[in-house]
Amino acid sequence: MKASFMISIFVLGIFLVSACTIGGAKPKPESKLVISGSTVDINIETPHPYPNSDSGRKVVWSYKLEHPKATYLRLHFNNIQIKYGNVNPPSIYEEVDHGECDLNAPEGYKRELMDPNTIKETQIIEQQGGEVSVSSLRTIKCGIIKEKKEYTDQEIFDNNWIEGDFLLIKDRDGKVLDIIANSPFYLENKYDFWSTAYSVDTVILELYADDKENAHGLYIDKYVRGFTEEEKERINQ
């Protein structure tokens, strides 16, 4: 597989410090980009259109992508058009115990009960002149709450709670990492998007299709691989 490494598009942070010229102060140097990974050009694509299953729903195309020692992989779909179905797990509500509603706040914080199952915690900072300001705010769940069960992708796949065609992403051991069964709703171009980052150095792609109508297929033109800590130290020196 030919892969050309490009300058990383992923950074842990960009900190720009403007030069200070007031009062003859020396300008501070701009801080360096911290690089955490790099993009790799690749050509992964299904037939166009991808084939139907001969009966029922089966794997009609698969691909194994390996990048040894990568700390994560993130795929870019230049185009993905499959006959999406729906993910329909049953709605089950179960009681979850979030522990005692403890109003004893750490030093510098204040807690109060907003409702029987929610604590509001604020950080109190004293300023000059005896003034007090709130620096941060968070809510804490407590007590026993009835919550909707969240299923893992593995549970959804094992229980066959998916309708239509879909792309399955697994690790090298066959564990389901992701199910792409619909287009990202937050993008204008629904055929062009980045996947989530998978904390593995190998992903197995499996396209499942039924024996009904299909579509164009998919094309992955690049991916990001995460650097190891040793690589980060060497590259960011």
Percent of the chain past pLDDT 90, that is, above it, reads: 51
Query: pLDDT tens digits for 30-41?
Result: 556 778 889 999
| Dihedral pair phi/psi, residue 158, rounded to 5° | -60, -35
Residue matched to tokens 């069960």:
149
Lowest mean pLDDT among 11-25, 48-62, 147-161, 212-226: 11-25
Q: Is the pLDDT reported for residue 175 higher than 90?
A: yes
| Dihedral pair phi/psi, residue 119, rounded to 5° | -110, 135
Q: Find all residues with CB under 8 Å of 108, minimum gap 6, and list them.
A: 123, 124, 125
Q: Is the pLDDT reported for residue 24 higher than 50?
A: no
Query: pLDDT tens digits for 112-160?
Result: 999 999 999 988 876 555 555 556 788 999 999 999 988 999 999 999 9
Supply the CATH classification number for the domain 37-89+151-228. 2.60.120.290
Mean pLDDT (the chain) is 82
Higher pLDDT, 187 or 63: 63
pLDDT for the residue numbered 48: 94
Higher pLDDT, 184 or 151: 151
Give the amino acid at 84: Y
Q: Is the dihedral of CA 158, 152, 94, 184 positive or negative?
A: negative
Query: pLDDT tens digits for 49-104?
Result: 999 998 888 999 999 999 999 999 999 999 888 887 778 889 999 999 999 999 99
The domains of the chain are located at 37-89+151-228, 93-147
The number of C-alpha atoms within 13 Å of 151 and in the hemisphere containing its C-beta is 20
| Average confidence (pLDDT) over 204-227 | 93
pLDDT for the residue numbered 9: 35
CB 208 within 8 A of CB 214: no
pLDDT for the residue numbered 221: 97
Q: What is the pTM of this model?
A: 0.69
